[in-house]
C-alpha cells in the first residue's frame, strides 16, 4: 500500500472537457510520486458545512513534475464537485491521497488487456492504459457526449459506445465488445454497477480474469468507518464477514472476489 499524503494542493489548471466534466491538474508532489493507476484522491470542500471528502479517481500521474490529473463529473448544483469546478490556477484544495489499491500491473505484463470504462469510470483507465506495456484494446462507454477519447487513442485501439447511438456502437461497452468480437487475456474495468455486473458475467463466460473498480458512498476514505463496503464471495480476513472495504481493500477487486 502506497504512502498516504495529506496536503493543500495548488491548482495548476482546470478546463471543462464536456458538459459538467472537468479536468483538474494539481501540484501534488509526494502524492503524485506515490500514486498508482486506479487509485483515488479524497478532495475536501472549502465550505465548512460539507464535512465529507469527495473521492475522485486519478486520471493521469506525472511523477516527473509531481502532478496529478483528476477528471470528474459535477454531480449537481450546490455540491462539492460544483465547488471544485470553480477552482482556478493558483487556488488550493485540501486533499488526501493516494488512496485505495489501484489496478495490478504485474499480472498484465505481456498480456493483451481489454480495458473498459463507462461514464465517469473512464478517467482512471487513461493512466492505467498509459502504464500498461503490452497490447491494449480500449472500450469507452458514454451516455452521449465524448471526452478523453483522443487521449486514449495514443495507447491502443479504441472502440466507443453511446447510449443514444450518436457515436460508435449504440448501447454499452459489452455491446461493442460483442459487435466487434473483442477479447483479451485480462480485463480491467471501471464504471457503474450494472456495467461491472455485465463485465463480470462476460469474464466468467469467456474465462477471462477481470479486475473491476467498484464505487460506493464513502465517508472516511481510509478504511475506518465501514461505510463503503461491498459484498465479498468469501468471509473477508479483515471484516470477518462477507464484506470488503471499497476505499481500502479496493476500489479494484478481482471480479470473482466480490458480489456485484
Partner 1 sequence: MNSLSVNLAGVELKNPVMTASGTFGSGMEYSEFVDLNRLGAVVTKGVASVPWPGNPTPRVAETASGMLNAIGLQNPGIDVFCERDIPFLKQFDTKIIVNVCGKTEEDYCSVVERLSDEPVDLLEINVSCPNVKEGGIAFGQNPAALESITKKVKKYAAQPVIMKLSPNVTDIAEMARAAEAGGADVLSLINTITGMKIDVRRRTFVLANRTGGLSGPAVKPVAVRMVYQAAGAVKLPIIGMGGIATAEDAMEFILAGATAVSVGTANFTNPCATAEIVEGLERYLEEQHVEDIRELIGAVR
248 part of the interface to partner 1, by CB under 8 A: yes
221 binds partner 1 (CB under 8 A): yes
| In contact, 28 and 9? CB cutoff 8 Å | yes
For the bound state, the minimum distance from the C-beta of residue 47 to partner 1, rounded and expressed in Å, comes to: 10
Question: Does residue 220 interact with partner 1 by CB under 8 A?
Answer: yes
Distance from C-alpha of 35 to C-alpha of 112, rounded to nearest angstrom: 24
Neighbours of 52 (CB within 10 A): 15
Cα–Cα distance measured from residue 128 to residue 102, given in angstroms and rounded to the nearest whole number: 9
Rounded Cα distance between 25 and 137, Å, is 26
Q: Is 81 in the site for partner 1 (CB under 8 A)?
A: no
3-state secondary structure of 161: strand
C-beta of 52: minimal distance to partner 1 in Å? 5
Q: Smallest gap, in angstroms, from Cβ of residue 208 to partner 1?
A: 28
Q: Which residue has the cell 465548512?
A: 48
d(CA 116, CA 95): 27
Is the separation of the CB atoms in 222 and 74 below 8 Å?
no
Least gap, CB of 196 to partner 1 (angstroms): 15
Minimum distance, C-beta of residue 115 to partner 1, in the bound complex (Å): 26
190 binds partner 1 (CB under 8 A): no
- Maximum alpha-carbon separation in the chain: 51
Judged by CB under 8 A, the residue of 219, 233, 254, 257 near partner 1 is: 219
The distance of closest approach from Cβ of residue 113 to partner 1 in the complex, given in angstroms and rounded to an integer, is: 29
| 68: phi then psi, degrees, rounded to nearest 5 | -125, 140
Q: Which of 8, 15, 49, 150 is close enough to bind partner 1 by CB under 8 A?
A: 49
Does the protein bind partner 1 through residue 39 (CB under 8 A)?
no
116 close to 208: Cβ distance less than 8 angstroms: no
Q: Does 217 bind partner 1 (CB under 8 A)?
A: yes
The smaller minimum CB distance to partner 1, of residues 84 and 152, is found at 84
Q: Which 197-216 positions form the footprint of partner 1 (CB under 8 A)?
A: 216
Peptide bond into 251 cis (omega under 30): yes
Residue closer to partner 1, measured from CB, 56 or 96: 96
Sites of contact with partner 1 (CB under 8 A): 4, 6, 44, 48-53, 96, 216-230, 238-243, 248
Amino acid at each position: 500500500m502506497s504512502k498516504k499524503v495529506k496536503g493543500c494542493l495548488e491548482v495548476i489548471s482546470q478546463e471543462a472537457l464536456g458538459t459538467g466534466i472537468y479536468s483538474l491538474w494539481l501540484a501534488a508532489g509526494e502524492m503524485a510520486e506515490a500514486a498508482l493507476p486506479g487509485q483515488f484522491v479524497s478532495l475536501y470542500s472549502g465550505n465548512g458545512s460539507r464535512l465529507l471528502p469527495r473521492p475522485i479517481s486519478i486520471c493521469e500521474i506525472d511523477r516527473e513534475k509531481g502532478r496529478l490529473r483528476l477528471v470528474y463529473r459535477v454531480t449537481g448544483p450546490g455540491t462539492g464537485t460544483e465547488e471544485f469546478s470553480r477552482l482556478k490556477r493558483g487556488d488550493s484544495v485540501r486533499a488526501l491521497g493516494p488512496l485505495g489499491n489501484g489496478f495490478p500491473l504485474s499480472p498484465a505484463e505481456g498480456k493483451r488487456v481489454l480495458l473498459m470504462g463507462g461514464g465517469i469510470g473512464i478517467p482512471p483507465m487513461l493512466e492505467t492504459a498509459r502504464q500498461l506495456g503490452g497490447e491494449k484494446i480500449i472500450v469507452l462507454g458514454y451516455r452521449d457526449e465524448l471526452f478523453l477519447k483522443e487521449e486514449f487513442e495514443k495507447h491502443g485501439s479504441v472502440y466507443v459506445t453511446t447510449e443514444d447511438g450518436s457515436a460508435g456502437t449504440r448501447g454499452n461497452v459489452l455491446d461493442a465488445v460483442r459487435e466487434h468480437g473483442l477479447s483479451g487475456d485480462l480485463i480491467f474495468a471501471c464504471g457503474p454497477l450494472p456495467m461491472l455486473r455485465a463485465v463480470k458475467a462476460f469474464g466468467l463466460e469467456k474465462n477471462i480474469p477481470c479486475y473491476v473498480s467498484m464505487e460506493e458512498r464513502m465517508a472516511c476514505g481510509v478504511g475506518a468507518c465501514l461505510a463503503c463496503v461491498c459484498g465479498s464471495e468469501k468471509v473477508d480476513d479483515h471484516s470477518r464477514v462477507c464484506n470488503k472495504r471499497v476505499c481500502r481493500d479496493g476500489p479494484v477487486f478481482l471480479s470473482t472476489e466480490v458480489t456485484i
